[in-house]
């Protein structure tokens, strides 16, 4: 029996969550920070002990304590990376809420720690129903975080978030029941290699799609996201963008693609079309936003569309790229929300026009903000470049049209991000109160510096992140290769013609020699 590190990673925040309910404000903050830091340490331990190129599923734990499903945990490289993302962002979220949250701190920290338990659970679950329970349970703390500590329109946003995602996932539950009934097991690794009948796959794929497309979110079911983001407190937005959105992508990688390869191919066009619309449409919408958080929320939808396109490219580059975009976007959009939070805490408005010229009075802040803006655009040397480049390279092998449209989206991304940055950080200091804001304090440094380091690390040496996933992505690619779509512009290199184009037959040549 190995040391049950995954269970411990679930137990630590859970114990913290229960403790926070009974503690005063400052004690709850300290407890939450401590619990998340312990989990970060455990996460690092997990990564260090993860054997690259070893067994596909590592740190496996199993206990038959439930009827009909089992408590089975275990991770592969893909799950490892997403767990790392979660445990990395969590202490930062606690720091971001340190001063911003003043009412009912204990309950707030409790909800966040619970969120961490559930996210790790989703990525580590090896049982279909256990996955569903963790997946769905995340609605409860997020509903409370948005509803209790959110902005003015929080109630509408919390309802919309809850009901949208619930409707998506209940259909997936029925599909799961059907699968278990058919395959006779709830074990995910077994199901990954179970071949469902292609005609049944169609329905199963659609049911899973209903859930993951909402979580992702894909156009046109993305509308809950801007509302939820805008109303949630800063740390809520970070977790929402940083990790919760990744649940959709993780679902596609873990379930839709390997379990229903034929159906995935059958519906690839649907994914492409929705993604192309999302990239162009939400980028255009982002251009005209006055609210900073809304702008970043729409940019998230656009980035996630790159992820779906990469995933449904059915090749290694595409899937690796999609994973890198997910990790990179988790860091970068989280950091951008933190940047918004930093100035929101000072001025209590997210309206872009109320700021301006921050580079003058907040140079350090402006530097961080610039780095994350550039990363969001996908500048080489930052995390998002690696992901976007790979994802687009992957999809180019399938469809040049989709690549064209999605690349246009990246240009638009540069437009709206640079436009945002210009209005906030450059120009003249229009507003006296914004001009008087102090620069970053130590706590904010502690939040932004680690993310900045991670963004650069991922951009300069992505191998650290790609290596643990390589084997799993290769296995996935091998699994779905049989259904991979054809290349639309599959240009065949023809045999060279015998003569040059201006070659003139010999008989004529003599005549023309005069």
Partner 1 sequence: MSYASSLYLTGAEVGLSLVGLVLLLVSAWSGPRSGRMLTVIAGAALLAAAVFSIHLFDRASGDVAARAFGDLYRADAFGSFAKVLIYLATAAVLVVTPRFFAQVGGYRGEYPVLMLFNAVGMGMMVSASDLMTLYIGLEMSSLSSYILASFLRQDDRSAEAGLKYFVLGALASGIILYGVSLVYGFTGTTNYEGIRAAFDTNFSTGALFGVVFVLAGLAFKVSAVPFHMWTPDVYEGAPTPVTAFFASAPKVAAMGMLLRMAMDPFAGEVDSWRQIVIFAALASIVVGALGAIGQQNLKRLLAYSSINNVGFILIGLAAATPAGVAGALTYLTIYVAMVVGSFTALLMLRDPTGNNLETFADISGLSTKRPALAWSLLAVMFSLAGIPPLFGFWGKFVVFQAAVQADLVALAVIGIAASVIGAFYYLKFIKVMFFDEPVREVEASSPIGHWAVLAVCVAIISPLGYLLTIPLGEWTAQAAASFVAAM
Binding site for partner 1 (CB under 8 A): 21, 65-68, 104, 129, 132-134, 136-137, 139-140, 143-144, 147-148, 154-155, 158-159, 162-163, 166-167, 170-171, 173-174, 177-178, 181
For residue 275, give the nearest of 248, 310, 244 by alpha carbon.
Answer: 310
**Coil, strand, or helix at residue 349?**
coil
Distance of alpha carbon 54 from alpha carbon 77, whole angstroms: 10
Smallest gap from Cβ 151 to partner 1, in A, equals: 12
Smallest gap from Cβ 13 to partner 1, in A, equals: 14
Q: Which is nearer to partner 1, 155 or 489 (CB)?
A: 155
Smallest gap from Cβ 297 to partner 1, in A, equals: 21
Tokens of 418: 């640079």
> Within 10 Å of residue 461's Cβ, how many Cβ atoms?
11
Q: Which is nearer to partner 1, 42 or 157 (CB)?
A: 157
Tokens of 159: 């309802």
Q: Which is nearer to partner 1, 163 or 474 (CB)?
A: 163
Q: Which is nearer to partner 1, 106 or 261 (CB)?
A: 106
Q: Which is nearer to partner 1, 50 or 212 (CB)?
A: 212
Region of 68 on the Ramachandran plot (φ > 0 left; ψ -120 to 50 alpha; else beta) = left
Smallest gap from Cβ 73 to partner 1, in A, equals: 15
Smallest gap from Cβ 27 to partner 1, in A, equals: 16
Return the residue matching tokens 């997946």.
135
Q: Which is nearer to partner 1, 50 or 132 (CB)?
A: 132
Q: Which is nearer to partner 1, 230 or 335 (CB)?
A: 230
Distance of alpha carbon 320 from alpha carbon 387, whole angstroms: 7
Tokens of 400: 């040049």
Residues 6+ apart with CB under 8 A from 146: 154, 157, 158, 161, 228, 231, 232, 236
Smallest gap from Cβ 237 to partner 1, in A, equals: 18
Smallest gap from Cβ 14 to partner 1, in A, equals: 10
Distance of alpha carbon 514 from alpha carbon 192, whole angstroms: 76
Q: Which is nearer to partner 1, 103 or 497 (CB)?
A: 103
Smallest gap from Cβ 399 to partner 1, in A, equals: 33
Cα angle for residues 246, 343, 23 (degrees, 5° grid): 70
Contact 86, 250 (CB under 8 A): no
Smallest gap from Cβ 60 to partner 1, in A, equals: 21
Q: Which is nearer to partner 1, 47 or 129 (CB)?
A: 129
For residue 418, give the nearest of 410, 407, 430 by alpha carbon.
Answer: 410
SS3 letters across 255-310: HHHHHCHHHHHHCHHHHHHHHHHHHHHHHHHHHCCCEHHHHHHHHHHHHHHHHHHH
Contact 345, 438 (CB under 8 A): no
């Amino acid at each position: 029996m190995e040391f049950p590190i995954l269970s411990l990673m679930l137990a630590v925040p859970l114990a913290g969550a229960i403790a926070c309910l009974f503690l005063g404000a400052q004690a709850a903050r300290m407890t939450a920070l401590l619990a998340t830091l312990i989990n970060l340490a455990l996460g690092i331990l997990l990564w260090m002990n993860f054997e690259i190129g070893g067994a596909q599923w590592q740190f496996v734990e199993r206990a038959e304590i439930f009827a009909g499903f089992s408590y089975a945990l275990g991770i592969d490289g893909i799950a490892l990376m997403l767990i790392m993302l979660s445990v990395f962002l969590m202490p930062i979220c606690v720091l971001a809420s340190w001063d911003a949250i003043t009412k009912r701190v204990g309950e707030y920290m409790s909800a966040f720690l619970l969120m961490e338990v559930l996210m790790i659970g989703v990525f580590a679950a090896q049982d279909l129903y256990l996955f569903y329970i963790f997946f769905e349970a995340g609605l409860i703390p997020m509903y409370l975080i948005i509803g209790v500590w959110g902005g003015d329109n929080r109630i509408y946003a919390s309802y919309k978030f809850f009901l949208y995602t619930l409707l998506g996932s209940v259909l997936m539950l029925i599909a799961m029941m059907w699968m278990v009934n058919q395959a006779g097991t709830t074990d995910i690794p077994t199901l990954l290699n179970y071949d469902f009948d292609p005609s049944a796959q169609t329905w199963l794929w659609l049911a899973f799609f209903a859930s993951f497309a909402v979580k992702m979110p894909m156009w046109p079911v993305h509308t809950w996201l801007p509302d939820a983001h805008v109303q949630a407190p800063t740390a809520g937005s970070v977790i929402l963008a940083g990790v919760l959105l990744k649940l959709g992508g993780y679902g596609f990688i873990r379930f839709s693609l390997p379990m229903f390869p034929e159906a995935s191919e059958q519906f690839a066009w649907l994914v492409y079309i929705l993604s192309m619309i999302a990239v162009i449409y939400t980028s255009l919408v982002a251009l005209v936003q006055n609210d900073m958080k809304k702008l970043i929320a729409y940019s998230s939808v656009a980035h996630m569309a790159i992820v779906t396109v990469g995933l449904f490219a059915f090749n290694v580059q595409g899937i690796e790229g999609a994973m890198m975009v997910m990790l990179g976007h988790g860091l970068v959009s989280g950091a951008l929300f933190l940047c918004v939070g930093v100035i929101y805490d000072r001025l209590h408005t997210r309206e872009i026009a109320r700021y301006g010229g921050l580079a003058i009075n907040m140079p350090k802040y402006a530097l961080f903000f610039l780095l994350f803006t550039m990363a969001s655009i996908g500048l080489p040397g930052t995390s998002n470049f690696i992901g976007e480049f790979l994802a687009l390279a992957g999809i180019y092998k399938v469809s040049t049209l989709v690549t064209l449209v999605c690349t246009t989206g990246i240009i638009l991304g540069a437009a709206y991000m640079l436009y945002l940055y210009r209005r906030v950080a450059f120009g003249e200091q229009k507003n006296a109160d914004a001009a008087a804001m102090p620069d970053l304090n130590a706590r904010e440094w502690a939040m932004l510096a680690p993310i900045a380091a991670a963004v650069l690390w991922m951009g300069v040496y992505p191998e650290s992140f790609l290596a643990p996933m390589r084997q799993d992505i290769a296995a996935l690619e091998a699994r779905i290769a049989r259904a991979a779509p054809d290349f639309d512009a599959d240009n065949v290199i023809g045999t060279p013609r015998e003569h040059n184009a201006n070659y003139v037959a010999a008989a004529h040549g003599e005549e023309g020699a005069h």
